[in-house]
Amino acid sequence: MSLDSYITLGRSGLRVSPFCLGTMTFGEEWGWGTSVADSEAILGEYLDRGGNFVDTANIYTNGHSEKIIGDYFAARPGRRDRVVLSTKFFGNLHLGDPNGGGAGRKAIVGQCEASLRRLHADYIDLYWLHNWDRATPIDETLRAMDDLVTAGKVRYLGISDVPAWKVSQAQVVAHCRGWAPMIAMQVEYSLLARTVEGELTPMAQEFGLGVMPWGPLRGGKLSGKYTRENAGKLKSDRTGSSDGPTDAEFVVIDAVNEVAAEVGANTVAVALAWVHSQPGVASTLIGARRIEQLTSNLEALDVALTSEQIAKLDAVSKPALNFPADNNRTLAPSLAFAGATVDGQPTKAMPMLTASPARY
């Protein structure tokens, strides 16, 4: 696989790279990011290797991330149109202004115009609702987003970090009213954060949303830098905390290291390859503050995990899911199919059934 082995994102006609370059690190305003020169070098390396999918947000480094990307493409005419450029709205950049952020019509339109200015762009390929605004009716948000599509300022729509029931509501409302639907959903997903498998991922598959995992390395815990010996001693550049992986997380990390040794790859590549192999996953978000980190991430393109290796990682990282996820996965098929094999999956007959036909 390579960055130019493009895939179709969700139920749409948009084709993107299997790994999307996340740019939350572009800019140093938050104290742990990357300089303009290094940001441009990372972006250039990603594009030169065939990548075509770049993701940012209005709030990343207080808007500087968008400006770095915009300046980069403005200096390279003709390259912008070959890239799928996505950004998000919701975050408020105006202290004390209740309409500076969120998902009301005034906020959405204002944020879109500001992002377009910073990006030096006439349009945004994929525009994301970054979070759920509980104070705004979802139909107001959806209509405003649809208006941006109609106006040609936005091509496609996405949703991020929103409960499954709310995303479902949004998709149904958009469908019934003939508005532009969401085509993709961003969620936190990694070997150390798998609870999205309960409702979010199945919901996304049902509604034609491409799943885009963020945080696939769980804040660096799956980067290979943590060991049982240095746990609690290394400080995170982002948070300043020295909290390392827990004992339970090290069980997963140990398994990742074992698989990495088997395939001759780094732990980062194995962790990313596992995420990318999961049902519903479309393009996985990766981030880097240095070229070396980007290169390490992209090694995942060359890793093909066997079914046994995937099963091994699945087993050690199996999450506890909210009801009724496990009930639907285990008990329900046996209740429905009574020992028959359906779609390649065998089931068990319930103990109360006998070989004789039902009596009543």
DSSP string across 28-51: STTSS-B-HHHHHHHHHHHHHTT-
What number of CA atoms fall less than 13 Å from residue 152's CA on the CB side?
Answer: 2
Six token digits for residue 118: 């910073």
Following DSSP, what letter does each residue of 199-218 receive, concatenated?
A: THHHHHHHHTPEEEEE-TTT
CA distance 68 to 77: 15
DSSP SS3 for 89: strand
Cα angle 329, 334, 336; round to 5: 100
Q: Which residues are catalytic?
A: 60
- Direct distance between the N- and C-terminal alpha carbons of the chain, in angstroms, rounded to an integer: 56
From the list 155, 163, 160, 153, the residue with the least C-alpha distance to 115 is 153
**Angle made by CA atoms 249, 294, 28, in degrees to the nearest 5:** 90
For the record, the structure tokens of 93 come out as 């950049």
The DSSP string of 276-343 is HTSTTB--EEEE-SSHHHHHHHHGGGG----HHHHHHHHHHHPPPPPTTHHIIIIIHHHHHHTT-EET
Quote the tokens at residue 165.
């029931």
**Ramachandran angles phi, psi of 286, nearest 5°:** -125, 150
Tokens read off for 51: 């990548």
Element (H, E) at 124: strand 124-129
